[in-house]
Amino acid sequence: MNFSTLGYHIVADFWGVDFQLFNNADWLETRLVEAAEIAGATVCSVQSKQFQPQGATVLVLLSESHLSIHTYPEKGFAALDCYACGGEADTERMIEHLLAVFMPEEIYAQKLTRGQGNIAVYSPVFLQDNN
């Protein structure tokens, strides 16, 4: 069987999100797993940590790679990282779902094409549509 090394990696900063949404590791786990499944990814495991007095980190291990979030609820900020390679999982669809869930006031993102030599960097479609 021949597998492709081609993969898409999105890094995104979400700003201006309600404190409560970013301060509940269990709820975040559910939303990230939901995003992965909607995008056609295979979830292998989930790890999370609720920080005190606030903040959370969630890592969803995928057969295709990973989806993660690290939150700073007191600042309305989260750093997201989404990478999938060698399959049908759609990283843009994962982030688009999380955009709909969190409804950030601002988003900054870059999409990398990996596994073909030079890493190509460009804006994801969901950012291009909003310009």
Q: Give the residue numbers marked as catalytic.
A: 65, 70, 85
H or E, element range at 82? strand 77-85
In angstroms, the CA 18 to CA 76 distance is 6
Is the CB of residue 15 less than 8 Å from the CB of residue 22?
Answer: no
Cα 130 to the center of its chain, rounded Å: 19
In angstroms, the CA 23 to CA 49 distance is 11
Determine how β-strand 65-72 pairs with β-strand 77-85: antiparallel
